[in-house]
Amino acid sequence: MFDASIYKNRRLRLKEKMQNGLVLILGNGEAPANYTDNTYKFRQDSSFLYFFGLNMPGFAGVIDIDSGEEYLFGNDVDMDDIIWMGPQPLVKELAARVGVVHSAPFAQLAVCLKTAIAQGRRIHYLPPYRYRNVLLLEDLLGIHSAFVKEYASLELIQAVVALRSVKEACEIEEITKACNIGYEMHTAAMRNCKPGVKEQYIAGLIEGIAASYGSMVSFPVILSQHGETLHNHDHSQLLQEGRLMLTDAGAEAESNYCSDFTRTIPVGGKFTSRQKEVYNVVLACNNKAIEIAKPGVTYQYVHLEICKVLAQGLKDLELMKGNVEEAVAAGAHALFMPHGLGHMMGLDVHDMEDLGQIYVGYDDETRPINQFGTSSLRMGRRLQEGFVITDEPGCYFIPALIDQWREQGMHKEFLNYDKIETFKDFGGIRIEDDILIIPGGSRFLGDKRTPVTVEEIETFMGA
Ligand code: GLY
Ligand code: MN
C-alpha cells in the first residue's frame, strides 16, 4: 500500500474532474471456487485499489463530490473471524491508513445511497464485472440487474481512465517490480525448455515464481509449442527438439501492479534457420515500436508502422508479395498477425478493460479501424508521457485461417499461398515487452531485458 497522501491526492483529482453527485467505488468480495468457504485467491477491484488502497474483501468507498466528504463502508471483524483469521484492524483504522475520515458498517452504505437518491442526487458507479456486485448494485440502487451495466456513469469512467492512464512514479516502481518477477519467470522458462519436459511443468514453475515473489500471475499462463493459437492454455504436450515454445506470462507485484512479457524460444536452445528468419522479422517489429512510440503519436500509427515492417520482412521471405503499403492498407498482413500491437498495463494487465476498451484505448480523435486484425488493437489513441503499454507483435501460421483465406482467394495479390502452405507446421512467434512513454520516446520497463535476440537466447539457453 502507498502512503495515505497518494490516495487522498487521487480522490482529490477525481473530485476536480467530476461535476456533482456521489461516486460509489465497490470493492470485491470473496469468490467461491467450489463451495462457499473454498475461495479463489482474493483479487481486489483495481479502481478500489487505486482510490482506496485496501486489499481485502467486503468494502466500498463513497466520495461526495458536492461536500468533498469521503466514506469507507465495511464491517469490523467479530470473534468468529478473529478465531479463524487472527486479530484484524478496525475499519476506522483501515480508513485512516488511506486518509479517509468517515467509516461505517457496510449496511450503512444502503442508507447513505437511499438518502442521496431521495434527494435526487446522481450516484456514479463503474461498470461491474462480477455478478456479486451486479446484484449488490441492483439492491442498493433499485436498478434491475439487466440494466446495471448500462447505467454506469460515463462521466466517472472517463475521469477514472484519465487518472489511471498516466502512471505516477510510485506506480512505475511497482510495475518495475512486477517486470523483474517477469524476468525471473521467463528466464526460468528458458532454463527448463528442453526436449521431453512437459509444457505444464514449466507453466506451473513460472506461476509459482510469480506467487513466490509477488501476488500471483497477472493472467493465466499461456505456454505452448502451438504458439499459433494466440491464447493457448493447453499445456499437455511434451517439448520436442526443433519446435518453438511460446510463453506469454506476467506477474502481479504484491501491490497488484502487473507485468506481461512474451518470449518465443527454441526447444533445446538452437533456432533453425527458418525459425531465425521469421523471428528476426518479429523482433524488428518489436524494435520499431519502441523506436517510434513517443508522446504525441497514436499507438494506432505505431501499430500500422510495425505491420509494414512485418509485411516487408515477409515479402523478403517470399511469403508476401506486391506493394507493402498497399498490402497493409488492405489488411493482408493480418493473416500472420491477427491481433493488435498492445494494450495499456497497470493495476490490470489489460488496464481498465472493465471500464470499456473504447474509453481506454480510443477517444473522439482516434477511433478503432474496423478491419480484421487491426480491429483487435486494444490501444490506439495518442500517447502521453506516463502511459505504460505493451509492445507485442507476432507472426503466426494458423492452418485453418490459411485454408479459409486461400479458399476465398483473400488478398491473393499480396500472399504467396504456395510458400505459406509449407509453413503450416511452423507454429507462431510473439515477442512482448512492456514500455513506458517518456519525454521524446519510450523505454523498456524492468531492470533487465529478458534475452530477446537470437544470439542472446541461444547463449542464455546454452549456458
Ligand atoms: N499477454 C496476454 C494478452 O495481452 O492478452
Ligand atoms: Mn499483452
Domain ranges of the chain: 4-164, 169-462
Contact 192, 204 (CB under 8 A): no
Which residue is associated with the grid cell 510469480? 210
Distance CA 277, CA 358 (A): 36
Please give the mean pLDDT across all residues of the chain.
Answer: 97
CATH fold for the domain made of 4-164: Creatine Amidinohydrolase; Chain A, domain 1 (3.40.350)
- With a pLDDT cut of 90, the percent of the chain lying above it is 99
Residue 390 CA: nearest ligand 1 atom is 4
* Mean pLDDT across 154-165: 98
Which residue is associated with the grid cell 480523435? 365
Residue 343 CA: nearest ligand 1 atom is 4
The closest of 115, 86, 90, 118 to 103, measured between CA atoms, is: 90
Contact 446, 182 (CB under 8 A): yes
CA of 349 to the centre of ligand 1 (A): 7
Q: How far is CA 333 from CA 226, 300, 356, 417, in A?
A: 20, 15, 27, 13
For ligand 1, whether the C-beta of 348 sits within 6 Å is no
Q: Is residue 463's pLDDT more than 90?
A: no
Q: Which of the 8 DSSP states describes residue 258?
A: B
C-alpha cell of residue 158: 472517463
Q: Dump pLDDT digits (tens) for 177-208.
A: 999 999 999 999 999 999 999 999 999 999 99
Which residue is associated with the grid cell 524476468? 183
Contact 282, 307 (CB under 8 A): no
Q: Dump pLDDT digits (tens) for 41-50.
A: 999 999 999 9
Which of 179, 222, 286, 376 best tests ligand 1's pocket when mutated (most atoms within 8 Å of CB)?
222
Residue 392 CA: nearest ligand 1 atom is 4
Q: How far is CA 128 from CA 23, 25, 47, 344, in A?
A: 14, 10, 11, 20
Beta-strand pair 261-266/244-249: antiparallel
Distance CA 434, CA 367 (A): 23
Helix (H) or strand (E) holding 110: helix 107-118
Rounded to two decimals, the pTM is: 0.97
- CATH class of the domain defined by 169-462: alpha beta
For ligand 1, whether the C-beta of 219 sits within 6 Å is yes
